[in-house]
Chain A
Amino acid sequence: MAQILLVDDDQDLIEMNRTVFAQRGHTVKVAYSSAEAQKIAQSEEPDLAVLDVMMEDKTAGFDLARRLHALYPTMPMIMLTGISKEMRLGYTFQPDETWLPVSKFMEKPVNPRVLADEADKLLSGRQ
């Protein structure tokens, strides 16, 4: 049982992931923008956060990851991204302690079950 923060501007991605996390007994808080996510995270530390990249702007999720990391340096974060393909970067992101302090990148679309599996893995590693 853990407290999960889901951040995505797509209502349905939030909804499906919330359903699967709730099925596994987790408590879920949702935010539709990085501003909203920061507000929620201020009051209480989530056990894990799942972040989208493109929200208010193309890289809102990166900025959010850095802010959340500053607040809670040990909280695991999963970043969902379609960005390496969309921006035609030709490379995939590697997590980076300071620049992109996330635990795991997953390329969209992500099967909600696979996402929840990854989250559980990170959570069990933490305990």
Chain B
Amino acid sequence: MDILNILIVDDEFGMRRGAERALRDVTVSLPDINGEVRFDIRTAATGKELEEKMNEGPTDILVLDHKLPDTTGLDILDRLNKSSLDLLVIMITAYASLDTAVTATRRGAYDFLAKPFTPEELRGAVRKAARHLILQRQARRLAEEKRQVRFQFVSVLAHEMKAPIAAVEGYLQMIHERSVGTKLEDYDRMIDRSLIRIEGMRKLISDLLDLTSIESGQRKRTLVGVDLSEVARQAVENVKAEIERRNISIQLDVPAGLSMEADRTEIEMIFNNLISNAVKYNRDQGRVGVTVGMTGDEVRIQVEDTGIGMTPEETQRLFSDFSRIKNEKTRNILGSGLGLSTLKKIVTLYNGDIAVKSKSDVGSTFTVTLHNNFSAA
């Protein structure tokens, strides 16, 4: 429940009391943001008193009579404009003076009420102003949050991109200065490491493009029948060199011909990501189990590994941007920290979910659920 502070400024005592009574028990519901607003009401009889009351505490809505003993509503509007306070003014104009109303609106009043008005008219105007104010503030807050998130993202991204450049640059300087002598093979390790860092950087860039294309909603999605067993097999094929080198076995349990209505690229991203993670973070001679099944319209993809696993704290951070779990076990494993956050975004396109169960040094199980009729849902 939000409280908005209303200040009623009128030199007639009866008006002030009437307005206060009319607004006292009013609540405004805001279904769009699931909120409700009540009012805290103060009154002032003169321009001087208005100033005092404004200094005492915040004012959100000002119900302002044009004709005051020591000033006019229009003059007050001018002063408010200069102060850039975050409030809305409802101007009360006497004798249905259209001129004043027009001028007031031009000078920034949100609304006007012509005397005489009924309590219901006053409540209506205040309700409208309250809704406008709350939604406007909400929009501003969201825009600010968005700017912050974007800034954070770009800062981390810049850091992640500079790290491999610094590494390659350092190695090149050492090679350039012949820092370990003149034998070429003494530089093999530096060259290998440089190539690995460059590969990491390329992966970061391609993951970044995947993430932004999913996030933007601009990517053209083509929904076709996608054969899940085929996509799973292809994903295993992509890690073939690594599983052979490290002697990791993969067990695929996908009913032949199991298919769902989906965008093929997105489904490929899901399988590639889960399976390559299960291999990357596995131990040598480890196992990976991939199980896919469908119940009703729900597709369930489960990828289980016998790898390094994670602590409960680590699993909590797992799905945010650039969240790489950094410890001595992951130091030699390349990763952009964007894969799982991209995956999470894809999964929401299918009204689905992604969950992880993990135990340090035992392994992790990732479970993705997707809905076949997501477009209708």
Contact = CB atoms under 8 A, between A and B. Distances in A.
Interface of A: 9-13, 15-16, 19-20, 23, 32-33, 54, 56, 82, 86-87, 108-113
A32 B328 contact: yes
A9 B326 contact: yes
Which interface residue of A12, A19, A111, A112 has the most chain B CB atoms within 10 A?
Answer: A12
Nearest to A12: B167
Interface in B282-331: 326, 328, 331
A13 B169 CA distance: 10
A110 B158 CA distance: 17
B173 A82 contact: no
B140 interface: no
A13 B170 contact: yes
A12 B179 contact: no
Q: Is the interface of B mostly helix, strand, loop or mixed?
A: helix
Given A20-B174, A32-B328, A112-B179, A10 B163 contact: yes
A96 B326 CA distance: 30
Interface in B161-219: 162-163, 165-167, 169-171, 173-174, 177, 179-180, 190, 193, 197
B284 to A, nearest CB: 19
Which interface residue of B165, B171, B179 has the most chain A CB atoms within 10 A?
Answer: B179
Given A19-B179, A20-B179, A112-B179, A86 B159 contact: yes
Given A11-B332, A12-B197, A86-B159, 9 more contacts: A12-B167, A12-B193, A16-B171, A32-B331, A33-B326, A82-B162, A86-B155, A86-B158, A113-B177
B377 to A, nearest CB: 40
A20 B177 CA distance: 11
Interface in B318-355: 326, 328, 331-332
A82 B159 contact: yes
